[in-house]
Amino acid sequence: MVISPGNNPNAIVLPDQDGNDIYISDYDQQYKLLSFHPLAWTSVCANQMTDLEQYYQDFIDNNTIPFGISIEPVPTKKAWAEELGLENLKILSDFYPLGFAARMMGVFIEYRGHSKRANVLINPKGEVVWSKEYKPSERPDIKEVLEEVENAGS
């Protein structure tokens, strides 16, 4: 995962499933987990997002806000969030410009037009403190992610 010099993850602004612009910089007192998934409406991506929802309070208890991110437009994100029963997790649309956040984090697959599956943990200063890429068919281990979140905050 390569972040271009001068890129600041806190500069990311993307709409959530309700069309509200989410400014990562608004969470300047917290860690942020950017959980990239290739495409909505796929089983591994659904499991990845529902894991974040299920453990949402664990993230909050560790001063971390998780966000799901993929390239679909807001209406698709909204329908998918409803289908998944998301109540807390914000899933962000990286639709326009296509893959803006994924490109900034170095996880955009140009020839496929979507991001890799990856988790990126950002500290309150906007520095990446942990990241991991996964195979497209690999569901991130939520316990491992939470362990990294706990270690980063201690």
Dist CA 112 CA 16 (whole Å) = 23
Domains of the chain: 9-153 (3.40.30.10)
Q: pLDDT tens across 27-44, in order?
A: 999 999 999 999 999 999
Distances (CA, A) of 113 to 28, 73, 110: 30, 13, 5
Give the CA-trace dihedral at 131, 147, 137, 119, to 10 degrees.
-30
Dist CA 79 CA 17 (whole Å) = 8
Taking the CA atoms of the chain, what radius of gyration do you get in angstroms? 14
Query: What confidence score (pLDDT) does residue 10 get?
Result: 82
Query: What confidence score (pLDDT) does residue 35 get?
Result: 98
Count of positions (residues) in the chain: 154
Q: pLDDT tens across 62-85, in order?
A: 999 999 999 999 999 999 999 999
The pTM is what?
0.95
